C-alpha cells in the first residue's frame, strides 16, 4: 500500500507529486496516457496570468497570484522556458471602460502588482499592430508565457528523481474505500493507498463521484487554437486579451516562449471528454476574433491548429481539499484557467494538506533542481564544437525547421520518464514542431526511437495506444 | 538558428570558389557545370546521407526524357550526375547541415565529424529544394491522429524503408507526388479509395493522372476537399465535401470515407530559410529568390536554381537551369560577368502568367539564348503564349492547353533583344484565341 496515489500527471498532478517528493512518503502516480502532459496541460494558451480575472477572495485568485510569483524561481530551479512579457486587455470603446476598470480593481484586490490602465495612444506605441480602434487597455507587467510541456515534464522528472513512482498506460476504472485507505482498480491491476489525490482533469468529477455523495460536475470546455510560424512571432510582443466574457478570457494573441504566435481559444461546452477535435466553425471564429484586436494577422502563416479541453466545474472555482464525506481523498478538480499559472501553488497546497494529515517529515536528500535537455543554440561556437567532439550526435541535425539534433532526441528518450513516442520527443525537444510539422524528421525520429528503445519501426507510435505510425511492410498483404 | 560567434578567426576558415548548398539534382548539375566551366575549387554541402536529394526516393520511371532521351528512375537519373561529379573530382560533404550563410558568403555548417565549421565562399549557389505543405498549413479541422502523412514522407517510408504507412488510403491534392503515391500504395497492397482535389483542375502532370489513377481505377474528385478528420489515436476516416468557386465547402455535399491513412499532396514550398537569413530578396509568388538572367539574386555572387528558386514539374528542367547557374557562378568567380554596355530589361507577367524566372535581363550578361520559365494561374484551352517587347507582339505561340501543373517557357535570343535598342519591358501573357 502506497502512502499516496495521484491520479493524473498533468500540471496539477505533477506539481503535487513534486511537492510531495520533499517528504518521506511513498507516492505513486497513475496516468492513463503513455506520457506526462497528454491532456489539458498540453493544449492551452501557455500563459502565466497576472491574476486580475478571478473573483477576489476566491481560491482561483489566491493561487493565480501566488503561482505567478512562484513561476520565475521554479523555471530557474527546474530549467524550463518562462518569460515575463506582460499582457494587455484591450478595450475598444468608451462604453466598455467600466468593465476594464472593474478588472483593474479586481486585480488590485487580488494583490496583482504593477497594474496600469493605459490610453489607446500608449497601447499603439507599445504594440504597433494593435487595432487603430483601441480606446484603452489594462496593462499587467507581471503576466508571462511558459512552455507548458516542459513545465509539466520538468515537475514530473524532478518528482521521479526524488523517488515518486510513475505508472503510465494505467487507467483508473474504479475506486473503493478500504480499511485505512482506498483501492483503485486499473487497466493494469489493483493499487492501494492510504491517500488519493484526484488530479484527473476533465475526468476529476468521475473519480470524485465514485467516493462521495456530494457530486460535482465537470464540463469539457473546448478551445480551438491556431499556431503561426516563427516569422509571425513578433507580430505582438505581449499577450493581447479581449475583455473577458462569462465563458472566459476570450480569444487572445500571444507570442510563445519559442517564438511562434498563438491565437485562440474558442470556448464551446461539449459532452465528450476526449473531444479534442477542432471544427471549421471554431477555427473560423479564432481567426475572426483575433483580428478584432490585432490587425494584419498573417493567417497564411498558420502551421498547425489544435484544440484543448478546459475542466470547467459548475461552480467556476478550483476544488482543492479533502472531500467532506471521503476521508483521505483529496480533490484537485475544476482546474481550468488559470490552472497552468497556479500549478506551483496548487502543488504546494495539496502537499501541505497531506503533510498536515500524515505528519510528513522532510527528506534530507531532496533534490530541488533539475537540468533540462541541453539546447545547443544557447552555447557559444567553441562550446558547441567541444560538445560535438565529445558527443557527435549533437552534430547531426534531425529536425531542420527547429534545428534539433540527434543528441537532444537521445537525451529526451534516455532521461527519467523519457519519451516513448513521436509526440513525446516533440514535446520535449520541439523536433517536428516547426513549419514542416515533422514531414521531414518523423521517419528519422522514428528510427532513433526504435534504436534507443530496442523495438521495431512498426512499434513506434505517434502518442501511444493505437497510434502506430506504420502498419506493416511493403506487399505484406499481397 | 542563431550561433553566438565569439571571435571569428579568419585563419581557421576554409576557402572555396563556389559553395553549393544542397546535393540534389540542382546542386549536382550546378557543380558539374561550374567545374566544366573551369572552376576547381567547388564544395557541395548535402544534409542527407547520400547525394541525389529527393530523387533517391522517386523509384518510379519517367525521368530524363529531355536530358538523356530515355526513361530513367529517379535514383538512376541522380546517379548519372553523381557519376559525373565524382569523375570531375568535385568535393562534397554528406550528413552536413548548413546552419547559416552570412551576407558576406561565410557558410556555417555542421556535421558529426567536423563539428561546427565555417567556409568563406566567393560564390554561393542555393540549391536546397523544397518541402511539402503540411496539414497544419491547410488548417483542416478534426482530430490529429497518426496516419496523416505528406505524400513525400509516405514515399520515403515505402520506397526507402519498405514500411507501409497504412492500408486504406485517401489522398488530398493531386500534385505529382500524390498521384505517384496513389499508384505506389496500390502496388504495395493498399487500397487507394479516392484522390480529392480542391481546384477544378489537377495540380499534377496529365500523364501522371492517366498512368497513376486512371490505369488503376482510382477516382479523382475535382473541386473537393477534406472537411473533417476522425480518429483520436489512429486515423479512422475523413469527410470529403465539394467546394464552390471560392474553395468553400458546400453544405450537404459531405461524404464519409473510412480510411487509416490520409496522404497530402497539396503543394511544395521552396526552402528558403537560409536565403532569407542572408538577406536574399524573395518573390511572394514563387516563395523563391528574385533572380536576374544569370539566376543571380539581389546579392552579387549568390545564385539560385532548382526547386528552391521555383517549384519545377520535371527534373530535366531543374538540371538545365542549374547548369546555367553553375556556369554563371563560374563566370562570376573569374570576373567575367560584366554588365558594361548592357541594358536592363524587365519581364512582366500578366494575364494568366503568375511569374517569370528570371525577372530581369541584362543584355550584356545574357547568353546567346535565354529560357524564361513561368507558370500559369488557371487552365487555358486553345490559347496563345505571347511576349510583347514593349508594345510589339514578338512571340505568339499557339497552345492547345496550358495548365498550372505544367511549367511553361519562352526562349529569347540576344540577337532578338539587340534589335530593340529602346526595349524596357517584355510582357509575358496568355491570350485567348
Q: What is the pLDDT of residues B227-274, one digit of tens each?
A: 999 999 999 999 999 999 999 999 999 999 999 999 999 999 999 999
Tell me the CA distances in angstroms from B3 to A257, A378, B11, B46, one per residue in order: 18, 8, 19, 20
Average pLDDT over residues A454-466: 96
Q: How distant is the Cα of A337 from the closest Cα of chain B, in angstroms?
A: 23
pLDDT digits over B285-302, tens only? 999 999 999 999 999 999
Taking contacts as CB-CB distances below 8 angstroms, the residues of chain A near B164 are 470-474, 476
Q: pLDDT band at A245, cuts 50/70/90?
A: confident
C-alpha cell at A302: 498558420
Residue from the list B158, B227, B260 with its beta carbon closest to the beta carbon of A474: B158
Whether B8 has a pLDDT exceeding 70, the answer reads: no
Residue in B68, B138, B79, B131 with CA at minimum distance from that of residue B311: B131
CATH architecture of the domain A80-144+219-310 equals 2-Layer Sandwich (3.30)
Query: Best mutation site among B131, B144, B159, B235 for testing chain A: the one with the most A CBs within 10 Å?
Result: B144
d(CA B278, CA B302) in angstroms, rounded, equals 10
Residue in A16, A91, A43, A110 with CA at minimum distance from that of residue A427: A43
**CB contact residues (below 8 A), chain B span 33-92, against chain A:** 47
Task: Indicate the average pLDDT of chain A.
Answer: 97
Q: CA B314, B320, B325 angle in degrees (round to 5)?
A: 125
d(CA A408, CA A377) in angstroms, rounded, equals 11
Contact B141 A471 (CB under 8 A): no
d(CA B169, CA B262) in angstroms, rounded, equals 6
Residue from the list B2, B163, B260 with its beta carbon closest to the beta carbon of A458: B163
d(CA A48, CA A337) in angstroms, rounded, equals 10
Q: CA B127, B122, B48 angle in degrees (round to 5)?
A: 30
CB proximity B104 to A under 8 Å: no
Whether A204 has a pLDDT exceeding 80, the answer reads: yes
Whether B11 has a pLDDT exceeding 70, the answer reads: no
| Contact by Cβ (8 Å): A55, A61 | yes
Beta-bridged to residue A189, according to DSSP, are A186
Q: Which residue of B has its CA nearest to A404?
A: B1
- DSSP class of residue B213? I
Taking contacts as CB-CB distances below 8 angstroms, the residues of chain B near A385 are 115-116
**CB contact residues (below 8 A), chain B span 153-212, against chain A:** 153, 156-158, 161-167, 187-189
- Write down the pLDDT at residue B34: 98
Q: How distant is the Cα of B49 from the closest Cα of chain A, in angstroms?
A: 11
d(CA A186, CA B94) in angstroms, rounded, equals 50
What pTM, to 2 d.p., does this model score?
0.95
First vs last C-alpha separation in chain A = 52
C-alpha cell at B138: 491547410
- Write down the pLDDT at residue A73: 98
d(CA A151, CA A344) in angstroms, rounded, equals 10
Taking contacts as CB-CB distances below 8 angstroms, the residues of chain B near A227 are 136
CB contacts < 8 Å between A and B, how many? Answer: 153
- The ipTM assigned to this model is 0.95
Please enumerate in sequence order all residues whose Cβ is within 8 A of that of B178, keeping only pairs 6 or more positions apart, or say none: B151, B171, B172, B195, B204, B263, B264, B265, B266
Backbone angles phi, psi at A254, to 5 degrees: -150, 145
Contact B249 A280 (CB under 8 A): yes
Contact A443 B156 (CB under 8 A): yes
Residue from the list A274, A396, A439 with its beta carbon closest to the beta carbon of B134: A439
- Write down the pLDDT at residue B341: 82
Contact A227 B136 (CB under 8 A): yes
Q: How distant is the Cα of B404 from the closest Cα of chain A, in angstroms?
A: 21
- Residue written as grid cell 488557371: B378
Query: Best mutation site among A443, A448, A460 for testing chain B: the one with the most B CBs within 10 Å?
Result: A443
Contact B163 A477 (CB under 8 A): no
Q: Which residue of A has its CA nearest to B153?
A: A439
Task: Indicate the average pLDDT of chain B.
Answer: 95
Whether A388 has a pLDDT exceeding 80, the answer reads: yes
Average pLDDT over residues A338-349: 98
Contact A466 B99 (CB under 8 A): no
- Write down the pLDDT at residue B6: 43
Residue in B10, B16, B286, B269 with CA at minimum distance from that of residue B125: B16
CB proximity B254 to A under 8 Å: no
pLDDT digits over A258-287, tens only? 999 999 999 999 999 999 999 999 999 999
Taking contacts as CB-CB distances below 8 angstroms, the residues of chain B near A282 are 141
Q: pLDDT band at A395, cuts 50/70/90?
A: very high
- Residue written as grid cell 502516480: A29
pLDDT digits over B315-329, tens only? 999 999 999 999 999
Give DSSP secondary structure letters for A102-124.
HHHHHHHHHT-TT-EEEEHHHHH
For A2-41+149-217+315-358, CATH gives 3.50.50.60
- Residue written as grid cell 561550374: B34
- Write down the pLDDT at residue B12: 67
- Write down the pLDDT at residue A381: 87
C-alpha cell at A135: 480606446
A236 CB-side CA count, 13 A: 31
Backbone angles phi, psi at A444, to 5 degrees: -75, -40
CB proximity B135 to A under 8 Å: yes
Tell me the CA distances in angstroms from B116 to A392, A407, B8, B100, B119, one per residue in order: 11, 14, 13, 11, 10
| Contact by Cβ (8 Å): B98, B274 | yes
Task: Give the sign of the dihedral formed by CA B293, CA B298, CA B304, CA B307.
Answer: negative
Q: CA A19, A21, A23 angle in degrees (round to 5)?
A: 100
Please enumerate in sequence order all residues whose Cβ is within 8 A of that of B242, keeping only pairs 6 or more positions apart, or say none: B221, B223, B224, B249, B250, B253
Q: pLDDT band at B369, cuts 50/70/90?
A: very high
Contact A385 B116 (CB under 8 A): yes
Contact B153 A439 (CB under 8 A): yes
pLDDT digits over A205-230, tens only? 999 999 999 999 999 999 999 999 99
Whether B132 has a pLDDT exceeding 70, the answer reads: yes
pLDDT digits over B150-159, tens only? 999 999 999 9
Contact A467 B145 (CB under 8 A): yes
* Catalytic residue (one of A49, A208, A235, A312): A49
| Residue A49 annotated among the catalytic residues of the structure | yes
CB proximity B227 to A under 8 Å: yes
d(CA A241, CA A100) in angstroms, rounded, equals 12
Contact B136 A437 (CB under 8 A): yes
State the pairing for strand pair A172-178/A239-242. unpaired
Average pLDDT over residues B394-400: 96
- Write down the pLDDT at residue B400: 95
- Write down the pLDDT at residue B5: 46
Please enumerate in sequence order all residues whose Cβ is within 8 A of that of B257, keeping only pairs 6 or more positions apart, or say none: B170, B193, B194, B237, B238, B239, B240
Asked if the bond preceding B358 is cis, omega within 30° of 0, the reply is: yes
Domain coordinates in residue numbering, chain A: 2-41+149-217+315-358, 80-144+219-310, 376-459
**CB contact residues (below 8 A), chain B span 296-315, against chain A:** none
pLDDT digits over A9-48, tens only? 999 999 999 999 999 999 999 999 999 999 999 999 999 9
Fold annotation for A376-459: Arc Repressor Mutant, subunit A (1.10.10)
Taking contacts as CB-CB distances below 8 angstroms, the residues of chain A near B135 are 304, 437
pLDDT digits over A351-379, tens only? 999 999 999 999 999 999 999 999 998 99
| Contact by Cβ (8 Å): A435, B127 | no
d(CA A277, CA B248) in angstroms, rounded, equals 20
Whether B204 has a pLDDT exceeding 90, the answer reads: no
- For residue A264, give the H/E element and its range: strand A261-264
Contact A473 B135 (CB under 8 A): no
Q: How distant is the Cα of A374 from the closest Cα of chain B, in angstroms?
A: 15
Give DSSP secondary structure letters for A319-370.
EEEEETTEEEEEEEE---TTHHHHHHHHHHHHHHHHHHHHT--B-SS-----
Residue from the list B132, B144, B227 with its beta carbon closest to the beta carbon of A280: B227
Beta-bridged to residue B371, according to DSSP, are B411
Amino acid at each position: 500500500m502506497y502512502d499516496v496515489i495521484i491520479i493524473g500527471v498533468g500540471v496539477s498532478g505533477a506539481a503535487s507529486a513534486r511537492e510531495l517528493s520533499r517528504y518521506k512518503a511513498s507516492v505513486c502516480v497513475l496516468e492513463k496516457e503513455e506520457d506526462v502532459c497528454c491532456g489539458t496541460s498540453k493544449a492551452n494558451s501557455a500563459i502565466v496570468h497576472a491574476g486580475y480575472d478571478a473573483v477576489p477572495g476566491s481560491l482561483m485568485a489566491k493561487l493565480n497570484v501566488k503561482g505567478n510569483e512562484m513561476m520565475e524561481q521554479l523555471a530557474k530551479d527546474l530549467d524550463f522556458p518562462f518569460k515575463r512579457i506582460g499582457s494587455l486587455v484591450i478595450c475598444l470603446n468608451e462604453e466598455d471602460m467600466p468593465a476594464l476598470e472593474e478588472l483593474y480593481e479586481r486585480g488590485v484586490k487580488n494583490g496583482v502588482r504593477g497594474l496600469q490602465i493605459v490610453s489607446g495612444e500608449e497601447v499603439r506605441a507599445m504594440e504597433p499592430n494593435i487595432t487603430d480602434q483601441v480606446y484603452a487597455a489594462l496593462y499587467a507587467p507581471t503576466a508571462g508565457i511558459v512552455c507548458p510541456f516542459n513545465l509539466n515534464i520538468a515537475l514530473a522528472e524532478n518528482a521521479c528523481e526524488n523517488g515518486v513512482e510513475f505508472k503510465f498506460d494505467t487507467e483508473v476504472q474504479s475506486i473503493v474505500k478500504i480499511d485505512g485507505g482506498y483501492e483503485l482498480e486499473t487497466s493494469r491491476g489493483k493499487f492501494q493507498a492510504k491517500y488519493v489525490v484526484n488530479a484527473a482533469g476533465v475526468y476529476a468529477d468521475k473519480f470524485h463521484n465514485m467516493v462521495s455523495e456530494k457530486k460535482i460536475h465537470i464540463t469539457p470546455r473546448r478551445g480551438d487554437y491556431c499556431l503561426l510560424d516563427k516569422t509571425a512571432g513578433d507580430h505582438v510582443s505581449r499577450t493581447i486579451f479581449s475583455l473577458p466574457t462569462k465563458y472566459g478570457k476570450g480569444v487572445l494573441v500571444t507570442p510563445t516562449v519559442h517564438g511562434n504566435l498563438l491565437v485562440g481559444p474558442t470556448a464551446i461546452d461539449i459532452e465528450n471528454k476526449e473531444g479534442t477535435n477542432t471544427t471549421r466553425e471554431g477555427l473560423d471564429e479564432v481567426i475572426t476574433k483575433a483580428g478584432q484586436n490585432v490587425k494584419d494577422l498573417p493567417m497564411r502563416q498558420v502551421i498547425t491548429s489544435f484544440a484543448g479541453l478546459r475542466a470547467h466545474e459548475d461552480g467556476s472555482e478550483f476544488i482543492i481539499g479533502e472531500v467532506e464525506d471521503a476521508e483521505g481523498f483529496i480533490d484537485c478538480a475544476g482546474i481550468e484557467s488559470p490552472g497552468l499559472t497556479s500549478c506551483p501553488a496548487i502543488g504546494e497546497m495539496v502537499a501541505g494538506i497531506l503533510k498536515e494529515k500524515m505528519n510528513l517529515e522532510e527528506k534530507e536528500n531532496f533534490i530541488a533542481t533539475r537540468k533540462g535537455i541541453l539546447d545547443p543554440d544557447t552555447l557559444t561556437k567553441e562550446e558547441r564544437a567541444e560538445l560535438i567532439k565529445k558527443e557527435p550526435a549533437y552534430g547531426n541535425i534531425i529536425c531542420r525547421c527547429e534545428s534539433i539534433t540527434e543528441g537532444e532526441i537521445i537525451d529526451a528518450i534516455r532521461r527519467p520518464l523519457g519519451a516513448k513516442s513521436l509526440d513525446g520527443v516533440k514535446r520535449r525537444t520541439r523536433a517536428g514542431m516547426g513549419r514542416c510539422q515533422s514531414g521531414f524528421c518523423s521517419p528519422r525520429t522514428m528510427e532513433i526511437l526504435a534504436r534507443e528503445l530496442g523495438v521495431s519501426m512498426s512499434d513506434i507510435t505517434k502518442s501511444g495506444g493505437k497510434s502506430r505510425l506504420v502498419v506493416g511492410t511493403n506487399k505484406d498483404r499481397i | 538558428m542563431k550561433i553566438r560567434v565569439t571571435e571569428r578567426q579568419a585563419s581557421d576558415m576554409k576557402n572555396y570558389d563556389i559553395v553549393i548548398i544542397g546535393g540534389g539534382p540542382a546542386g549536382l548539375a550546378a557543380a558539374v557545370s561550374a567545374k566544366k566551366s573551369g572552376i576547381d575549387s567547388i564544395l557541395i554541402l548535402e544534409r542527407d546521407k547520400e547525394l541525389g536529394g529527393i530523387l533517391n526516393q522517386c523509384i518510379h520511371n519517367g525521368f530524363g526524357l529531355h536530358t538523356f532521351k530515355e526513361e530513367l528512375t529517379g535514383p538512376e537519373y541522380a546517379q548519372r550526375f553523381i557519376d559525373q561529379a565524382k569523375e570531375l573530382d568535385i568535393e562534397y560533404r554528406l550528413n552536413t547541415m548548413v546552419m547559416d550563410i552570412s551576407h558576406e558568403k561565410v557558410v556555417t555548417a555542421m556535421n558529426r565529424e567536423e563539428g561546427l565549421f565555417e567556409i568563406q565562399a566567393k560564390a554561393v549557389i542555393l540549391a536546397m529544394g523544397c518541402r511539402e505543405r503540411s496539414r497544419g498549413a491547410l488548417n483542416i479541422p478534426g482530430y490529429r491522429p497518426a496516419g496523416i502523412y505528406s505524400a513525400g514522407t509516405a514515399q520515403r517510408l515505402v520506397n526507402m524503408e519498405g514500411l507501409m504507412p497504412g492500408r486504406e488510403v485517401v489522398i488530398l491534392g493531386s500534385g505529382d507526388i500524390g498521384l505517384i503515391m496513389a499508384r505506389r500504395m496500390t502496388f504495395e497492397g493498399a487500397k487507394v479509395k479516392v484522390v480529392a482535389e480542391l481546384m477544378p483542375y489537377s495540380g499534377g502532370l496529365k500523364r501522371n493522372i492517366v498512368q497513376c489513377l486512371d490505369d488503376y481505377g482510382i477516382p479523382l474528385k475535382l473541386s473537393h476537399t477534406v472537411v473533417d478528420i476522425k480518429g483520436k489515436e489512429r486515423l479512422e476516416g475523413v469527410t470529403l465535401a465539394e467546394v464552390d468557386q471560392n474553395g468553400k465547402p458546400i453544405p450537404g455535399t459531405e461524404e464519409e470515407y473510412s480510411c487509416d491513412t490520409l496522404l497530402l499532396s497539396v503543394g511544395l514550398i521552396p526552402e528558403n530559410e537560409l536565403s532569407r537569413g542572408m538577406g536574399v530578396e524573395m518573390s511572394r509568388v514563387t516563395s523563391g529568390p528574385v533572380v536576374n538572367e544569370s539566376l543571380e539574386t539581389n546579392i552579387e555572387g549568390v545564385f539560385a536554381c532548382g526547386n528552391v528558386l521555383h517549384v519545377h514539374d520535371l527534373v530535366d528542367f531543374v538540371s538545365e537551369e542549374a547548369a546555367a547557374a553553375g556556369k554563371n557562378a563560374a563566370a562570376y568567380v573569374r570576373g567575367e560577368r560584366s554588365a558594361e554596355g548592357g541594358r536592363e530589361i524587365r519581364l512582366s507577367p500578366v494575364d494568366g502568367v503568375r511569374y517569370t524566372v528570371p525577372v530581369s535581363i541584362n543584355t550584356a550578361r545574357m547568353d546567346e539564348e535565354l529560357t524564361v520559365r513561368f507558370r500559369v494561374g488557371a487552365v487555358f484551352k486553345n490559347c496563345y503564349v505571347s511576349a510583347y517587347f514593349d508594345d510589339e507582339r514578338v512571340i505568339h505561340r499557339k497552345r492547345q492547353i496550358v495548365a498550372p501543373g505544367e511549367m511553361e517557357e519562352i526562349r529569347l535570343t540576344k540577337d532578338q533583344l539587340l534589335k530593340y535598342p529602346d526595349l524596357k519591358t517584355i510582357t509575358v501573357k496568355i491570350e485567348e484565341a
